[in-house]
Structure 1
């Protein structure tokens, strides 16, 4: 289970506010890094999305045993358009509402069918960062597919 993720954004506060709408949660300033925000889904799993300014890097540190990590902002990375990170997040929000919220924010959004196994909604945060959202009916399909027996059948069918 993933409890929280961190993403970078050009407009962290605005991104956090939009993601909070999708997650039906709340936004708060991130206390450890100025200009960063957290989206608190307020669900039983403690789901949280940290939204940091573009160019922020997490780096290891050996002299802080409380956090073990330091946040460094490097404005030289602001030209990075895309990256390999993405996450799938279950939300209580409907498919139509997710589309409405993302569209209102000016972000690309599309419902995708993953070969008939399950559906997800791709939301391109600031049209750069991919987050996949699963409303309740999509989450049920995803969870059913990700069970060991279903995955084994998938691997046999695909000869993987």
Structure 2
């Protein structure tokens, strides 16, 4: 069993002990010199505690995932548009687009909103764009 405060390695979670490096087998390391053949009882106790060790690792993993989710969600900018809103559409970089060219074109009018967060757009001439656009690739149209 690892000492308190030290995270269990995947090897320890699987086999209930730490791995012996092949170099340690050929060279008399401190761990091999002090190895006791009567460790069978201690090993059985460690195997009994393996489930507890795995459960603690699973709890730490859940807490880590929760922190990751909160950190990600803190930076997400939710975007929602209504029918009739004017929006900018992101330009896909094709060919020789330079960094000085604008990444947004528009304005486009939102014609239809789907539940999935996708939108059908219409250009200034009243022509409906064939492809759906995700809210991730749209920005509100604001005139400054």
Q: Which bracket does the TM-score occupy, shorter chain normalised?
A: under 0.3
Structure with higher strand content: 1
Which one has a bigger Cα radius of gyration? 2
TM-score (norm. length: structure 2): 0.20
TM-score (norm. length: structure 1): 0.18
